Amino acid sequence: MFLQQLINGITIGSTYALVAIGYSMVFGVLELINFANGSVYMLGAYITLMIYVNMLGNFWLSFALSLVLTGMVGYCIDRFGLRRLRSKNVPKVTGLITTLGISQVIEHGVRIFFGSETKAFPNMIDFGYVKVAGATIGSSQVIILCTSLVLMICVSLLVYKTKLGKAMLAVSQSSEASKLMGINVNGIISLTFILSSSLAAVAGTMVGMYYQNVDASMGFSVGMKTLASAVLGGVGVLPGAMVGGLLMGIFESLGASYVSSGYRDAISFAILIAVILVKPTGLFGHKQINKV
């Protein structure tokens, strides 16, 4: 029972981690919570499904197309929604409201064009299951976990080991100084948005396969939970977001089975609040020095 819940928790937690990385990266470079990320997660799953059902009939090709398209959506969010705001030097809350507005546009756009009912989603990664010590491990769980881990490692390598990643870290420290060093700041920010959106789309599609259904409101609650995971780990710190996402999934799954399924999300949020109160910068966050 415990092992089973732990495995379920890790599986779902690994998808949370993918989305949480997106929040964390955007926060790192822009100091902005991108509330549209949850809707992009839902949009990714929808685009995969719609291309698969209505146009191509080949799931993996649809999945790939969906990643490209959501990446473009991410680019557009930054290019048309936020870049103008940056150049005007406006208060940070403005960007927050813009992303809230965009998430509303995406969510209701999906409702209008694809219908608001829950849709069945094919599970293409179900190849049976194995039993280990009384717990059932499905092939989809293994594949989801492995995909997430591989992606997380790739993103970490990209951010911490390449020149591009160095540029990203530089922008997150000071966009002014990076501009003076010849870094294309807007390009880096666009790249961050494209990456975070594609990661969200991967997570959305995998969760769609895992639960075998998608609906237009799935993005909202996951958006909040993943935002919470990013904060739990310490915003702007990638390993923090990963650990935060996994922990969030585990809390949720254990809380649902041992305490009460109705209070599942309440438990995860209560733990989040408790952690932040004890360690106000999240698990892996650095203490910031305030200058007056």
Partner 1 sequence: MNRLFEFCARNGWKITAVVLAAMIVFPFVVTSSYVLRIAITVLMYIMLSLSLNLLVGHLGLMSMGHAAFWGIGAYTAAILSTRFNVSSLGTFLAAMVIAGVFGMILGLPVLKLKGYYLTVVTLGFCEIIRLVELNSMNLTNGPLGISRIPSLNFFGVVFKSSRSVYFVALALVVLTVVVIYRIVNSRIGLAIMSIRDDDIAASSIGVNVFVYKVMVFIISGMIAGLAGAFYAHYISYIDPSGFTTGQSMDLVILAIFGGLGSIPGAILGAAVLTILPETMRALMEYRSLIYGIVIVIMMMVKPDGILGKVNFKYIRQRQQMEKASGKEGAQA
Q: x/- site string to partner 1, residues 20 to 39, per CB under 8 A?
A: -------x-----x-x----
Examine residue 259 and tell whether it contacts partner 1 (CB under 8 A): no
Give, in order, the Cα–Cα distances in Å from 97 to each of 44, 102, 235, 257: 22, 9, 19, 36
From the centroid of its chain, how far is CA 172?
19
Residue selected from 102, 137, 170, 248 as contacting partner 1 according to rule CB under 8 A: 102
Residues facing 119 on adjacent strands: 214
- Of 48-56, 92-100, 178-186, 199-207, the segment contacting partner 1 by CB under 8 A is 92-100
- Of 51-59, 97-105, 139-147, 198-206, the segment contacting partner 1 by CB under 8 A is 97-105
- Of 51-59, 140-148, 153-161, 222-230, the segment contacting partner 1 by CB under 8 A is 222-230
Number of residues that bind partner 1 (CB under 8 A): 49
Alpha-carbon span 286 to 288, nearest angstrom: 6
Examine residue 245 and tell whether it contacts partner 1 (CB under 8 A): no
The encoded tokens of residue 122 equal 């094919």
Residue selected from 53, 65, 96, 158 as contacting partner 1 according to rule CB under 8 A: 96
Beta carbons of 82 and 95 less than 8 angstroms apart: yes
Examine residue 276 and tell whether it contacts partner 1 (CB under 8 A): yes
Alpha-carbon span 263 to 179, nearest angstrom: 47
Residue selected from 228, 246, 247, 254 as contacting partner 1 according to rule CB under 8 A: 228
Beta carbons of 123 and 141 less than 8 angstroms apart: no
Beta carbons of 95 and 32 less than 8 angstroms apart: yes
CB of 3 to partner 1, least distance (A): 27
Residue selected from 227, 241, 242, 283 as contacting partner 1 according to rule CB under 8 A: 227
- Of 11-19, 139-147, 189-197, 257-265, the segment contacting partner 1 by CB under 8 A is 257-265
Residue selected from 1, 91, 133, 180 as contacting partner 1 according to rule CB under 8 A: 91
The contact set with partner 1 (CB under 8 A) reads 27, 33, 35, 81, 84-85, 88, 90-91, 93-98, 100-105, 107-109, 111-112, 220, 224, 227-228, 231, 235, 260, 262-263, 265-266, 269-270, 272-273, 276-277, 280-282, 288, 290, 292
